[in-house]
Amino acid sequence: MMNKLRYLFILAMVLSFSTYAQNDSENTKQEVKKNNTPKEGNISSIDKKNYNSWAITLGLGNIYTTGDLNSFGANEKSFDLAFNLGVTKMFNSSIGLEAAFMMGTSNTHPNTFHYGKGTGLDGDTKTPFLTGSLHLVVNLSNVILSGRDQSDRKWNLNLYPGIGVTLHKAYFTHTSDPTQNEDWGTNGSKEDQYTRVYSVPMGLGLKYRLSKSFDIELRETATFYNDSNFDGRANNTAGGSNDYSFYTNIALVWKIGKKDRYLDWTNPLDEAYTNMNNLQEKVDNMDTDTDGDGVPDTHDLDNETPAGVMVAGNGKALDSDQDGIADYKDVDPFTPLGANVDEYGKELDSDNDGIGDSRDKEPNSKEGAIVNWQGIAVGGGNASLLSELIPSVFFNFDSATLEKGSEDKLIIIAKLLNKNPDVNVDVIGYADQNGNADYNKKLGERRANSVIKFLIDVYGVDEGRLHAQTAGADKPLSASKSYYKNNRRVDFKILD
């Protein structure tokens, strides 16, 4: 019997270390592929520095002994308690080593199912004992591939093959003749000392993860002794069989360390399964475009752009002038690079002279001052010079409707007129060379009247101070068709 147990123990050790070697080999390959720079929490590389590896186990349970005498015999029954303490060191996610200590007292009684009267077993044995053992820890949950991501699992199944030494005393109490009571010590002597026997424990534990620091475990351990002294049977009858015991205990496991995870709760394949699931999810999402902007959700940095808005390759709405206001919300999408703008994308104009701050060389011009294109106040000039400094208002082809950008330019002429109530202005409309002369004359006049109406309605300029004129296509600024827009304009002439 003992030879078979030794062979079983050796076989378990070989298989376990084979798995340990295989895992180490795979881990080495993973680390080489990542240039030996595994990241924190990267389960596939199992960088042991990222995990706790030490634990202390404290447990209490029932010890059941059987052999020639039994804890649960036919005549009497005993529920005996034992205490166990263990220290575990995990080498990787599958293999560890546990040093364990157990102490308790076993009470055994004759079993009349096996032995009748007259066999010399008319009595009971009380056996206090101390056991020290060394167990190999084999995490079956990590060794056995389940084919799915186990990173969030709450249960672990562990195997504990080992070898140990037990010290015990066997106090035999004769039932009918107390004079035959005996205290058996080492080698059958009646001295008050412990008998030392070797044992082979084999345990199976089911562990539940309570938190990052604590687990609870239910473990069953069968221990096989290499003699029959444990129940005292060999000391009063010849030819006793070897004894063995079963220890069923519940234990609290304290995982020592500051890391967020313990090694035996980490499967080397968890990361691989997680990556496959994430990859599948990304593949599934490649056809999904929630906001319909042509950029799949997996690459879309703004998944709520309005329908029809032009976006870049990352799904964010275009911002041509890079002022932080998307083009579809920007009233002036071509402000100079770096210019400060308001919430609508319009460049700030601190002195309200019609010249944006980024181009204004005199950002503190007096209110109502006439300025040139650089924002510099112009003074002491004649009416003709002032007329040339007032910006033109441009129109689209065959249109007399003011554009957004053009409306803002009219603030200059409005400020001039409001500051100088005696000044009158000719508002002269022009057209490009397309169309006949009569049509262009009328188009120029419509454009002049459109500007006059805006100055009256928006800025309150007296209608009698504004005189609509038209030059049609007679005085073009540009003869090139590429720049015909320069001819579709309204100019202002200040009257002396």
SS (H, E, C) 170-211: EEEEECCCHHHCEEECHHHCCCCCCEEEEEEEEEEEEEEECC
Which alpha helices (H) appear in 186-320, and where do they start and end? Answer: 270-285
Strands 69-70 and 95-110 turn out to be: antiparallel
Q: Helix count (H) and strand count (E) of the chain?
A: 6, 15
From the CB of residue 153, how many other CB atoms can be counted at a distance below 10 Å? 14
From the CB of residue 479, how many other CB atoms can be counted at a distance below 10 Å? 9
Question: What pLDDT score was predicted for residue 370?
Answer: 63
Question: What pLDDT score was predicted for residue 182?
Answer: 53
From the CB of residue 122, how many other CB atoms can be counted at a distance below 10 Å? 15
Predicted model pTM = 0.48
Question: What pLDDT score was predicted for residue 163?
Answer: 96
Per-position pLDDT tens, the chain of length 496: 445 445 444 444 444 444 444 444 444 344 334 433 334 334 344 567 788 999 999 999 999 988 777 787 656 677 899 999 999 999 988 899 999 999 999 888 876 555 434 445 667 788 899 999 999 999 998 887 555 556 678 999 999 999 999 998 877 777 665 555 555 443 444 445 678 889 999 999 999 999 999 999 999 999 998 877 777 665 444 455 678 899 999 999 999 998 888 888 887 666 666 677 777 777 766 667 777 676 777 777 777 677 777 777 677 777 777 787 887 777 777 788 778 888 877 877 777 777 777 777 777 777 666 666 666 665 544 556 566 667 888 888 888 888 877 777 788 888 888 877 878 889 899 988 888 888 888 888 888 899 889 989 888 888 888 899 888 888 787 767 666 777 888 888 888 6
- Domain 2-275 classified CATH 2.40.160.20? yes
Question: What pLDDT score was predicted for residue 414?
Answer: 85
Question: Dmax of the chain from CA atoms?
Answer: 147
Question: What pLDDT score was predicted for residue 379?
Answer: 53
- Burial label for 191, CB within 10 Å (0-12, 13-18, 19+), is exposed
Element (H, E) at 83: strand 80-90
| CATH numeric code, 380-496 | 3.30.1330.60
DSSP assignment, residue 335?
P
Q: Where are the extended beta strands (E) located within 91-140?
A: 95-110, 123-139
- Burial label for 149, CB within 10 Å (0-12, 13-18, 19+), is middle
Closest by CA to 139, choosing from 106, 181, 98, is 98
Tokens of 279: 């990859």
- Give domain limits for the chain: 2-275, 380-496
Which alpha helices (H) appear in 381-435, and where do they start and end? Answer: 383-389, 404-419
Question: What pLDDT score was predicted for residue 132?
Answer: 95
DSSP assignment, residue 71?
T
Q: If you write DSSP's letter for every residue of 348-374 in order, what string do you get?
A: P-TT-SSS-TTT-S-TTPPTT--B-TT
Question: What pLDDT score was predicted for residue 406?
Answer: 76
Question: What pLDDT score was predicted for residue 56?
Answer: 97
Question: What pLDDT score was predicted for residue 249?
Answer: 97
